[in-house]
């Protein structure tokens, strides 16, 4: 009988230890879930992120082509901003390129659009343009100003 009591006591002890470990781990995972920070997409044309301790400024722009030009000729942002450009083609075949930030869309046809995103990590004026032969020279370009 003493042997049975010893075995039952050992099983109870193991169950208590396993329960304590499980409870400790579930409490830790709840803490981690509560401290995670998520970033939601910015929908306004140009809007800075909220005033959080680790805020990221996202500047969003929607561009379209008008024949051989962009409908937005100048984009202004601040150094460190995340720049998000959605380019939609309304006629012809075009793309959107900013060489200095290694950013470009695919070659898009009528009705197609693409969004590119980059960090404006240097100041100055940079040309964005369509790389289809002859389009840049015809005026399909604009200026990105990073202050």
Backbone dihedral region of 118: left (phi > 0), alpha (psi from -120 to 50 degrees) or beta? beta
The most confident of the ranges 21-25, 29-33, 48-52, 110-114 is: 110-114
Mean pLDDT across the chain: 80
Q: Which of 120, 79, 75 shows the shortest CA–CA distance to 100?
A: 120
State the pLDDT at residue 23: 55
State the pLDDT at residue 18: 61
Percent of the chain past pLDDT 70, that is, above it, reads 67
In this predicted model, what pLDDT tens digit does every residue of 31-49 receive, in sequence order?
333 333 333 333 334 444 4
Mean pLDDT, rounded, for 3-27? 63
How far are the Cα atoms of 18, 52, 143, 147 from residue 95, in angstroms, in the given order?
60, 35, 15, 25
- Strand, coil or helix: 125: strand
Residue 24 pLDDT class (50, 70, 90 cuts): low
Residue 8 pLDDT class (50, 70, 90 cuts): confident
Helix ranges, the chain (H): 2-35
In this predicted model, what pLDDT tens digit does every residue of 68-102 receive, in sequence order?
999 999 999 999 999 999 999 999 999 999 999 99
Please report how many Cα atoms fall inside a 13 Å half-sphere around the Cα of residue 41, on the Cβ side: 9
CB 58 within 8 A of CB 81: yes
- What is the β-pairing status of strands 93-94 and 108-109? antiparallel
Residue 132 pLDDT class (50, 70, 90 cuts): very high
- Strand, coil or helix: 108: strand
């Amino acid at each position: 009988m003493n042997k049975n009591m010893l075995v039952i006591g050992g099983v109870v002890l193991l169950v208590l230890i396993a329960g304590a470990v499980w409870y400790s781990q579930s409490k830790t995972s709840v803490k981690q879930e509560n401290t995670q920070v998520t970033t939601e997409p910015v929908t306004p044309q140009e809007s800075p992120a909220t005033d959080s301790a680790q805020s990221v400024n996202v500047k969003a722009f929607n561009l379209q082509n008008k024949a051989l030009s962009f409908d937005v000729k100048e984009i202004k942002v601040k150094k460190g901003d995340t720049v998000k450009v959605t380019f939609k083609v309304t006629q012809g075949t075009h793309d959107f390129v900013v060489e200095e930030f290694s950013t470009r869309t695919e070659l898009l046809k009528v009705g197609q659009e693409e969004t590119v995103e980059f960090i404006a990590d240097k100041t100055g004026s940079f040309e964005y343009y369509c790389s289809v032969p002859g389009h840049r020279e015809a005026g399909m370009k604009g200026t990105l100003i990073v202050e």
